[in-house]
Structure 1
Amino acid sequence: MPRKEQGWITFQTSEEERKLLEEFCQLSQRTKTDILRELVRGLSQDSSPPPIPTTQEESKAEKIAETGTAKQQKPLKVSSRNLLKGVVTKVRKGEVSSQVTLKVVHEVELTSIITTSSVEELELSEGTEAYAVIKSTDIAIAKD
């Protein structure tokens, strides 16, 4: 029976994309198939497609293409084995500590108590993309 009829999906990736997937698999200690299934399951009928770039974003992309320069960000490197990207859904600020809730895959929400100064330094607010960094029983918050 051909693979297509068995539910197989085959696609090409760039070398960079392949390396990203392999690194994520190592960090999360899961297989490529598990990661890709999780991503597909995370797509829902309610998900909206990515926004169309505005004229300002397009001109910025054109300038980068022309000059060949862009602000290079170093990838986030951490010793924790579990790193989940999500979107901040709630920030409850206190004088010293704050509660930050991230929505990650499958509508799962994780809440972490971090210092209020960290919330301000990371510029966390509703809608901001951030990472849940899980080490043992602690959940830390990180941002690109």
Structure 2
Amino acid sequence: MPRKSQGWITFQASEDERKILDDYCQRTQRSKTDILRELVRSLEQRQSDTAVPESPAPFASDREAQEFLQVQRDFAISARNLLRGKIAAIAIDGVNAELTLAVAPGVELVAIITVSSVERMRLAVGKEVYAVVKSNSVMIAAIAP
């Protein structure tokens, strides 16, 4: 049986609350533990009101969550991995631009796109965008035992 002295926290949640958490975990491909830990860590930041978030809040309201789902439908793409983030940096090198997106607190994604796409889409640091990831294979590497 989990004990408070071991760091375990247990609580009851309504069926609606569990569904919200399950849906959010499914959408973000993250565990309940990760989501709840992030929520607890964010409480201190919310109190101070001085911290500037590195990335957009997961979803501040039900409306934002619905807009995210609408964006997925509007894109009409086969990729299932759609990550919302803010542009943290743009580095231009010739015809290509390297965009760094803050997709979660402490998590960045780097994408290489053309400079003409940056200009056409009017991309700038701080703008909220979506990264669309489509891959036929994902490989995992580890140091050999």
| TM-score where L is the length of structure 2 | 0.51
User: What are the within-5 Å matches in structure 2 for residues 1-144 of structure 1?
Assistant: 7-8=9-10, 18=20, 22=23, 25-30=25-30, 33=32, 36-37=35-36, 39-40=38-39, 43=42, 45-46=44-45, 49=49, 75-77=70-72, 78-136=77-135
Q: Secondary structure at the match of 2:126?
A: coil
Identity of counterpart residues, as a percentage? Answer: 32
Against the structure 1 CA distance between its residues 120 and 30, is the aligned structure 2 distance closer, same or farther, given a 3 Å change threshold? same
* Distance in 1 (alpha carbons) for counterparts of 2:132 and 2:41: 20
Is the 2:99–2:111 contact (alpha carbons within 8 Å) kept by the matching residues of 1? yes
| TM-score where L is the length of structure 1 | 0.51
User: What RMSD over aligned residues (CA atoms) do the two structures have, in Å?
Assistant: 4.2
Q: Secondary structure at the match of 1:43?
A: helix
**Please, which runs of 5 or more residues in structure 1 have no aligned partner?**
1-5, 51-72, 139-144
| Post-superposition CA distance 1:84-143 (Å, at most 9, x none) | 2221110112442111001121311111101112212222111111222222289xxxxx
**Please, which runs of 5 or more residues in structure 2 have no aligned partner?**
1-7, 51-66, 138-145
